[in-house]
Amino acid sequence: MSLTVTNTTLSTTYAVAKAELETNSADIISKFGSIDNSDIAASAGIEPGKLSASLQEVFVNLTIRAESLAAGLPAGGTVLTAVPIPGSSGDDAWKATDVQWVCTDTGAGTGKVRIEYGEHNASGTWTTVSAIPSSPTTFAITNAAAADDANDVSVKENDSVDLAYTGNPRSIALLSDTADATAVSAAGSFLSVSIRLRRRLQSS
């Protein structure tokens, strides 16, 4: 919406009327006190960091099912599943902020898993860059009420783990940490983990 000044032509040739100047000043003050979305051109190039809502977020889900496991949670260090995180040079880093999981078969309650950001090296070996969350770095697939029950747990809230982009493709992976042959072993059971990622809005 354009700025509208009441007195575009002053009433006298040589003398400036005080009331006319005051009215024009009031028009300008009123306008700049109520700028809204319609006043901003698409070409204005406003930086995302100056917006009140300047963050974007996504949720990454990592799920394993009993049918994909030979016998429950395997030995520590086994990559159970992974999701690649695409990006481009110059992108702001995603930050992992929250982690929750749900499991429909917690077995003996002794199994543990961990989430990591990393990459597979030239030999195909998983290489850890950072743990998600920063603490705790492992968490037990257990239920305080009773073994073998379903359970859902908030592992971490309001964390801040940088997932910086590099030239090498990187992923968020769910790994076993401590084996439990009875966890996620019943037909149809699953373990599902969600991670919330946030970063500053990206300019095109």
Q: What is the pLDDT of residues 157-201, one digit of tens each?
A: 788 888 887 777 789 999 999 999 999 999 999 999 999 999 887
**Angle CA(19)–CA(21)–CA(24) in degrees, nearest 5?**
110
Cα angle value 164/53/1 (rounded, 5°): 130
Q: How confident is the model at residue 39 (pLDDT cuts 50, 70, 90)?
A: confident
Spell out the domains of the chain, with CATH numbers in brackets.
1-39 (no CATH), 48-200 (2.60.120)
Q: Three-state DSSP class for 162?
A: strand
Token pair for residue 161? 């783990």
Q: Is residue 56 very low, low, confident or very high in pLDDT (cuts 50, 70, 90)?
A: confident
Q: Which two tokens stand for residue 88?
A: 């481009």
Angstrom distance (rounded) from CA 34 to CA 28: 10
Work out the number of other CB atoms within 10 angstroms of the CB of residue 47.
Answer: 10
Q: For 48, which DSSP code? A: G
Cβ–Cβ under 8 Å, residues 118 and 85: no
Q: What is the pLDDT of residues 93-151, one digit of tens each?
A: 899 999 999 898 988 888 999 999 999 988 989 999 999 998 888 888 887 655 545 67
Average pLDDT over residues 14-42: 72
Give the pLDDT band of residue 40 (cuts 50, 70, 90). confident
The C-alpha angle with vertex 154 and arms to 137 and 146, in degrees rounded to 5, equals 95
Check residue 91 and give its pLDDT.
80
User: Taking 90 as the threshold, does the pLDDT of residue 43 lie above it?
Assistant: no
- 154 pLDDT tier (thresholds 50, 70, 90): confident
